[in-house]
């Protein structure tokens, strides 16, 4: 069990005690919102300033609960991203799966909560939901054209990563288009995505 010994809070001097509570959140993973800590989970907490003192053991004990919370968050999150792609681009789930390079059945399992999406799939869906031109490119099966990613930033400092770059470290490279990029003819090759 837990061999917690009360101690003084270094922040305010109050006696830190094991405490439960409602509405507590804990950072779980980059890019994921903080997740709920079970109400009855004991954490050394300062009653004066509210500071919590997590031991490695407590963090480890909490991990399975956060994993469950993560799975509860994931299905609806992926569903929302798919819905955005459906509303904006008319894609069905099978087409979304093909664009992401996963099988339609895997995406179905993720949406129904019987499979966990990889970080790669989550980030890809988020990127596609945020970036319509990329979705349209996949819909017509066009090769990626990096010249259309301009204007982009080129770092000119020789020691580029030595310190935080400043605006003056960059020069802006203007987009050079012969003409405006043509809007892809969207629906024509959609059938091949679902094949």
Q: Can you give the binding site for Zn ion, defined by CB under 5 A?
A: 9, 11-12, 14, 46, 48-49, 51
Residue among 46 and 91 whose Cβ is closer to Zn ion: 46
Q: Smallest Cα–Cα separation from 19: which of 1, 37, 35?
A: 37
Residue among 42 and 116 whose Cβ is closer to Zn ion: 42
Cβ within 8 Å of residue 144, ≥6 positions away: 137
Going through the chain in order, the beta strands assigned E by DSSP cover 7-8, 15-19, 25-26, 35-36, 43-45, 152-155, 170-173
**In the complex, least distance from residue 12 CB atom to Zn ion, rounded to whole angstroms:** 3
Residue among 50 and 113 whose Cβ is closer to Zn ion: 50
Burial class (CB in 10 A: 0-12, 13-18, 19+), 3: exposed
Phi-psi bin for 39: left (phi > 0), alpha (psi -120 to 50), beta? Answer: alpha
**In the complex, least distance from residue 48 CB atom to Zn ion, rounded to whole angstroms:** 4
**In the complex, least distance from residue 25 CB atom to Zn ion, rounded to whole angstroms:** 19
Residue 25 C-alpha from the chain's centroid: 17
Q: Which residue has the tokens 């596609």?
A: 128
Calculate Rg over the CA atoms of the chain. 24
Residue among 49 and 130 whose Cβ is closer to Zn ion: 49
**In the complex, least distance from residue 42 CB atom to Zn ion, rounded to whole angstroms:** 17
**In the complex, least distance from residue 20 CB atom to Zn ion, rounded to whole angstroms:** 18
């Amino acid at each position: 069990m837990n061999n917690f010994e009360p101690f003084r809070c270094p922040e305010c001097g109050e006696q830190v005690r094991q405490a439960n509570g409602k509405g507590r959140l804990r950072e779980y993973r980059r890019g994921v919102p903080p997740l709920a800590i079970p109400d009855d989970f004991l954490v050394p907490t300062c009653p004066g300033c509210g500071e919590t003192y997590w031991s490695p053991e407590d963090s480890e004990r909490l991990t399975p609960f956060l994993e469950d919370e993560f799975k509860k968050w994931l299905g609806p999150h992926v569903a929302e991203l798919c819905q955005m792609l459906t509303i904006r681009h008319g894609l069905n789930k099978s087409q979304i799966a093909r664009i992401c390079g996963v099988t339609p059945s895997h995406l179905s399992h993720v949406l129904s909560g019987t499979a966990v999406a990889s970080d790669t799939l989550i980030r890809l869906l988020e990127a596609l939901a945020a970036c319509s031109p990329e979705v349209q490119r996949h819909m017509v099966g066009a090769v990626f054209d990096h010249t259309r990613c301009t204007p982009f930033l080129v770092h000119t400092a020789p020691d580029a990563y030595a310190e935080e770059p400043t605006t003056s470290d960059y020069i802006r490279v203007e987009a050079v288009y012969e003409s405006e990029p043509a809007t892809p003819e969207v629906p024509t090759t959609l059938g091949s995505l679902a094949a």
